[in-house]
A and B are shown apart, each in its own frame.
Chain A
Amino acid sequence: MKLSSQITHDIHDSEPPPILGTWARVNIAVLCWLAFLILLAWAFTEYFSA
């Protein structure tokens, strides 16, 4: 018996994300969040190392 055939779950590649409409927008939002965190951490470093 070929085990791979047991994986019968439907793959919904085109399933949209729950927010922002498309995956591209979600990805951009995540990268913007990272940029914001780095900026915040840099400001934190600058402010408190004085």
Chain B
Amino acid sequence: MTPLDWIVMAITIVAIPAFGLWKGRGSNTVNQYLLAGKTMPWYAMGLSIMATQASAITFIATTGQAYVDGMRFVQFYFGLPIAMVILSATAVPIFHKSGVYTAYEYLEKRFDAKTRALAAVVFLIQRGMAVGLSIYAPAIVMSVIFGWPDRVTTLIIGIICVVYTTKGGIPAVTWTDVLQMTIIFSGLILGLVTVVSLMPRGVSFTDAVYLAGAVGKLNAVDLKFDPNNRYNLWSGLIGGSFLALGYFGCDQSQVQRYLTGKSVAQSRLSLLFNATAKVPMQFFILFVGAMVFVFYLFIQPPMLFEKNAMKTVAALPGYQAAQSRFDAAWNRRTTAAQALNAARKQEAARPLSAALAEYRAAQTELDAARKNGIELYENSQNKGVLNPVKFNDTNYIFLSFVTKYFPVGFVGLVIAVIFTAAMSSSSGELNSLAAVSVMDIYRRHFRAGATDRHYLLVSRLFTAMWGVWAVVFAQYAKYLGSLVEAVNQVGSFFYPVLLGVFVLAFFFRRVRGSAAFWAMLAGECAIVGCAVFTRIAFLWYNVIGALVVVAFGLLFSIGKKRAPAAE
């Protein structure tokens, strides 16, 4: 990076939290600190919800995923608008009316203390692991890009995030998120404009789109139903809806955002804003990745995008052969892409179908050559290891492109976007972890009836404590190996149970506390059973787990009378 990039990056990273702290000044009560005094407008909540969900990895991995696998990942988000509509009609008015600080507080009003405690503990376990990873994952990518130790990048993200979250509470978090999302949107638009402008002469935007589509990189919708296929229209619509219902309706890191609303209407609008904006946004991010793929049709990419892995491979005996194969395959694909582009414009004698077949065959050969390089690296790393690790450099593709080819100054801005995205998702998680720790555990089970000032102090302490935990977890996450992948999917192990119990609470008045509690445990057993004994794609756990909780809740309530309405 040039000095100008460093200056842009430093100013952006410091200015955003400073703005949040300024907006969050005066958080002197628990209500202000955890709920912003219920004064937030819909657009601030809406952008904050988006920022909390979209971690840094969303931006760097999603673009890389389009490069490798095409745009089919967009289907993962098709269920989100459905969930948002359901939640804005049900959860939002119910949570607002009940005057709760956390979603789990409502469960005690509706069921009993043990159901609330179980839900709070489930949340703390799941979110407690995720908060460390949301710092660790971008930090490790940054460490490779900059060549810094990962401890340094972890600490930079962690310390800034902990300081402004602890000091300013949810108002600082929300307003910081607003600015971060604005910069993230700008960075993405800049990314697309830059990648298209870097295309070689003779390759227009429509040519680039055609070349990406010809090898399946624009495969946004797959209509074929297959429960073992992770991303298709049906898993996205059904599994994605259940996952989004669980995440936005039962995860305190999201519920807390819309509890800060001025009114039910403002909170509803914040969710519906996400419902309309999220799918186009993800489509756009993936499209940028597909355009990066086209860029690398004409400029040779490295065989592996992760610099350290590439250095390791370069020192191995089989490297020369693997690199020669990759070079030859890339040259063949470039020639084929140029021939296809010419044939499409009817400037070449070769028929379009033959040029298309050659281009696709060349792409298959290049994929095989890259896979060969990946296997070379994996074999060198997994010698004598009982649990071999799969190498994946998807996270490095976009950042590798940015640092090499973006104009001076813009590189710093995009790197700052990644840092701020990491901070926005982590800060929201820290604030919600503190809220649940204080309201559902500390105040409920250890010290009820203390002063507001005491709970404010304890809230700040819990925020700082969870921040320290997140940084420490991130420092040691690299030793977890493949467990990191498991933790990434951990949401689908816990959200269904939370979703199921909230469905029972909202819609089945006959179900009482004990039935709900045991139904949650039954649902968790069903999910673990699916994970261990079946090959069902994890998105479907959300459907199965929630349905099992509801079914068992009803089963355990046979013969019981309807409960009185919750406050």
- Taking a contact as CB atoms under 8 Å apart, the answer to whether A3 and B268 are in contact is no
Write out the residue numbers on chain B whose beta carbons fall within 8 Å of the beta carbon of A6: 29-31, 452
Tell me if A18 is interfacial: C-beta within 8 Å of chain B: yes
Cα A26 to Cα B271 in complex, Å, equals 12
- Taking a contact as CB atoms under 8 Å apart, the answer to whether B219 and A11 are in contact is no
- Taking a contact as CB atoms under 8 Å apart, the answer to whether B82 and A31 are in contact is yes
- Taking a contact as CB atoms under 8 Å apart, the answer to whether B218 and A45 are in contact is yes
Write out the residue numbers on chain A whose beta carbons fall within 8 Å of the beta carbon of B452: 1, 3, 6
Chain B min CB distance to A7 (Å): 5
Write out the residue numbers on chain B whose beta carbons fall within 8 Å of the beta carbon of A26: 272
- Taking a contact as CB atoms under 8 Å apart, the answer to whether A17 and B99 are in contact is no
Interface string of B262-292 (1 = CB under 8 A from A): 1111001100100110011001000000000
Write out the residue numbers on chain B whose beta carbons fall within 8 Å of the beta carbon of A45: 218-222
Write out the residue numbers on chain A whose beta carbons fall within 8 Å of the beta carbon of B210: 48
Do A48 and B97 form a contact, CB below 8 Å, given A7-B38, A42-B220? Answer: no
Cα A9 to Cα B99 in complex, Å, equals 9
- Taking a contact as CB atoms under 8 Å apart, the answer to whether A11 and B269 are in contact is no
Write out the residue numbers on chain A whose beta carbons fall within 8 Å of the beta carbon of B439: 3
- Taking a contact as CB atoms under 8 Å apart, the answer to whether A3 and B221 are in contact is no
Write out the residue numbers on chain B whose beta carbons fall within 8 Å of the beta carbon of A38: 78, 221, 233
Tell me if B216 is interfacial: C-beta within 8 Å of chain A: yes
A43 to chain B: closest residue by CB: B221
Write out the residue numbers on chain B whose beta carbons fall within 8 Å of the beta carbon of A12: 263-265
Do A4 and B100 form a contact, CB below 8 Å, given A17-B265, A34-B82, A48-B213? Answer: yes
Give residues 1-50 of A contacting B (CB, 8 Å).
Answer: 1, 3-4, 6-7, 9-13, 15-18, 23, 26-27, 30-31, 33-34, 37-38, 41-42, 44-45, 47-50
Give residues 203-261 of B contacting A (CB, 8 Å).
Answer: 209-210, 212-214, 216, 218-223, 233
Write out the residue numbers on chain A whose beta carbons fall within 8 Å of the beta carbon of B38: 7, 9
Interface string of B48-89 (1 = CB under 8 A from A): 000000000000000000000000001000100110110011
Tell me if B128 is interfacial: C-beta within 8 Å of chain A: no
- Taking a contact as CB atoms under 8 Å apart, the answer to whether B218 and A15 are in contact is no
Write out the residue numbers on chain A whose beta carbons fall within 8 Å of the beta carbon of B84: 30
Tell me if B101 is interfacial: C-beta within 8 Å of chain A: yes
Tell me if B295 is interfacial: C-beta within 8 Å of chain A: no
A33 to chain B: closest residue by CB: B276
Tell me if B409 is interfacial: C-beta within 8 Å of chain A: no
Write out the residue numbers on chain A whose beta carbons fall within 8 Å of the beta carbon of B101: 3-4
- Taking a contact as CB atoms under 8 Å apart, the answer to whether B272 and A3 are in contact is no
Write out the residue numbers on chain A whose beta carbons fall within 8 Å of the beta carbon of B283: 37, 41
- Taking a contact as CB atoms under 8 Å apart, the answer to whether A17 and B443 are in contact is no
**A contact patch SS:** helix
Do A33 and B264 form a contact, CB below 8 Å, given A3-B452, A7-B31? Answer: no
Chain A min CB distance to B567 (Å): 9
Cα A17 to Cα B251 in complex, Å, equals 26
Write out the residue numbers on chain B whose beta carbons fall within 8 Å of the beta carbon of A10: 263
Do A27 and B89 form a contact, CB below 8 Å, given A16-B265, A18-B269, A34-B81? Answer: yes
B101 to chain A: closest residue by CB: A3
A49 to chain B: closest residue by CB: B213
Do A4 and B209 form a contact, CB below 8 Å, given A27-B85, A45-B220? Answer: no
Tell me if B35 is interfacial: C-beta within 8 Å of chain A: yes
Cα A23 to Cα B262 in complex, Å, equals 17
Do A3 and B443 form a contact, CB below 8 Å, given A12-B264, A18-B269, A30-B275? Answer: yes
- Taking a contact as CB atoms under 8 Å apart, the answer to whether A4 and B99 are in contact is yes
Tell me if B449 is interfacial: C-beta within 8 Å of chain A: yes
Tell me if B2 is interfacial: C-beta within 8 Å of chain A: no
Chain A min CB distance to B50 (Å): 15
Tell me if B301 is interfacial: C-beta within 8 Å of chain A: no
B32 to chain A: closest residue by CB: A6
- Taking a contact as CB atoms under 8 Å apart, the answer to whether A49 and B218 are in contact is yes
Tell me if B451 is interfacial: C-beta within 8 Å of chain A: yes
Cα A42 to Cα B410 in complex, Å, equals 34
- Taking a contact as CB atoms under 8 Å apart, the answer to whether B275 and A13 are in contact is no
Cα A34 to Cα B280 in complex, Å, equals 10
Chain B min CB distance to A3 (Å): 6
Chain B min CB distance to A24 (Å): 8
A15 to chain B: closest residue by CB: B265
Give residues 515-535 of B contacting A (CB, 8 Å).
Answer: none
- Taking a contact as CB atoms under 8 Å apart, the answer to whether A37 and B263 are in contact is no
Tell me if B93 is interfacial: C-beta within 8 Å of chain A: yes
Write out the residue numbers on chain B whose beta carbons fall within 8 Å of the beta carbon of A47: 213
Tell me if B371 is interfacial: C-beta within 8 Å of chain A: no
Write out the residue numbers on chain B whose beta carbons fall within 8 Å of the beta carbon of A37: 279-280, 283
Tell me if B462 is interfacial: C-beta within 8 Å of chain A: no
Chain A min CB distance to B328 (Å): 27
Cα A12 to Cα B81 in complex, Å, equals 24
Cα A41 to Cα B74 in complex, Å, equals 9
Chain B min CB distance to A1 (Å): 6
Write out the residue numbers on chain B whose beta carbons fall within 8 Å of the beta carbon of A48: 209-210, 212-214, 218
B92 to chain A: closest residue by CB: A13
Chain B min CB distance to A8 (Å): 9
* 5 A–B pairs (Cβ distance < 8 Å), ordered by A: A3-B443, A4-B100, A27-B89, A30-B275, A31-B82
4 pairs of A and B residues whose beta carbons are closest in the complex: A48-B213, A15-B265, A41-B220, A42-B221
